Amino acid sequence: MFQAQILRQFARTAQAQAPRAAIRTRQPVLSSVRPFSHTPARLDKPEDHDAASTSGQPGQSGDHEGQFARTEESIVVEYPEEDALPRSLPVQGRGAFHFKRTLATFSMEGKVGVVTGGARGLGLVMAQALVTSGADVAIVDMNRDEAQRSAAELIETFKLENPNSDKVPKVTAHFCDVSSPTSVNQSVADILKEHGKIDNLVTSAGFTENYNAIDYPHDRMQKLWGVNVDGTYLYAVAVAKHLMERQVPGSIVMIGSMSGSIVNVPQPQAPYNAAKAAVRHLAASLAVEWASAGIRVNCISPGYMLTALTKKILDDNPELQKKWTSLIPVGKMGRPEDLMGAVVFLSSDASSYVTGADLRVDGAYTCT
């Protein structure tokens, strides 16, 4: 037995050594190895790879250097005024009762979910996903009228698609500027008055705009961080306090962005990217801090989703669409509906052991 082990060991050692010996004989002679340096490489041959390395001067191997990995200063997109944005409507044909078998843990029945920024865009569709899965929902938004219209339309869509349902979900609208602690606390109090409790939170209030960093107006930058970062933090803390007081578990889903992990090109948006990196790490940090209270905190990082806002950016810069889709392995932008499954998964008991995670819904953009 012992002898057989020694023989196997010997055979493995011999096998492992054989290729190494072969490689050694093929190693280049020392004189042809060029050390790493910043001195310009001699372009002996047009295909000289050194010119394409840090040995070469900028542009030495051609004009293409860094061509598809740069921001362009010429792209400036301000967050538009409310009346410049078309309305978002609830999606149709997704909400009816169905008889396909699925896991019961995906159900949100009996839960009350809050969606900030739920009047429009991704927030509205995610609110609809929670309603379709059985939850009552409070839409929280700075745009009071739009929030009210969207809440009413969610109920109408539900009734239309579920004519025989004995229970119609309760969907309410609440004004809030998520960047203000007073406004956040006021809206949480309003929601508790209407719904009696909160079990879930989705923070979708946020916005992006494109300026190069040198010209970014400071007041706009503060506003951007105020809504995207402070707003996410303030609402999460308010809901976590409520859950801790009730001593019940809950789930918080923060809407980050793939921009929190990569740098988009060609549109410049450094403060937005940094804000979304903060959201992603806030989710991880609060997941750890609140794990013992049974409060899960996760992040969804969408890629390019075709909402009213991205449509506006593309209308202003028509050439962007091709650039964006050429960088997405799936080759397509996502639709808001593509987030429905992700938000229900992370909000429901289907993900009861998932916390501190970042779920990227980006057509594999961040994989390349």
Ligand X SMILES: NC(=O)c1ccc[n+]([C@@H]2O[C@H](COP(=O)([O-])OP(=O)(O)OC[C@H]3O[C@@H](n4cnc5c(N)ncnc54)[C@H](O)[C@@H]3O)[C@@H](O)[C@H]2O)c1
Position 208 contacts ligand X (CB under 6 A): yes
Could you say which of 41, 129, 202, 227 contacts ligand X (CB under 6 A)? Answer: 227
Question: Is 277 a binder of ligand X (CB under 6 A)?
Answer: no
Contacts (Cβ under 8 Å, ≥6 apart) of 52? 60, 61, 65
Query: What is d(CA 162, CA 47) in angstroms, rounded to the nearest whole number?
Result: 66
Q: Which stretch binds ligand X (CB under 6 A): 18-26, 63-71, 140-148, 288-296?
A: 140-148
Minimum CB distance to ligand X, residue 160 (Å): 23
C-beta separation of 357 from 345 below 8 A: no
Cβ 257 to ligand X shortest distance, Å: 4
Q: Is 141 in the site for ligand X (CB under 6 A)?
A: yes
Write the burial class of residue 283 (CB in 10 Å: 0-12 exposed, 13-18 middle, 19+ buried): buried
Binding ligand X (rule: CB under 6 A), the pick from 158, 233, 304, 345 is 304
- Token output for 10: 């010997």
Interface residue with ligand X among 155, 234, 243, 305 (CB under 6 A) is 305
316 binding ligand X? (CB under 6 A)? no
Q: Which of 95, 169, 206, 363 binds ligand X (CB under 6 A)?
A: 206
> Nearer to ligand X by C-beta: 61 or 228?
228
Size of the site for ligand X (CB under 6 A): 30
Q: Which residues are catalytic?
A: 257, 272, 276
d(CA 170, CA 270): 39
Other residues' Cβ atoms within 10 Å of the Cβ of residue 164: 5
Residue 267, SS3 per DSSP: coil
The residue (of 136 and 146) whose beta carbon lies closer to ligand X is 146
Q: How far is the CB of 244 from ligand X (least distance, A)?
A: 24
Residue 273 CB coordination number (10 Å):
19
3-state secondary structure string, 135-157?
A: CEEEEEECCHHHHHHHHHHHHHH
Contacting positions for ligand X (CB under 6 A)? 116-117, 119-123, 141-143, 176-179, 204-208, 227, 231, 255, 257, 302, 304-305, 307-310
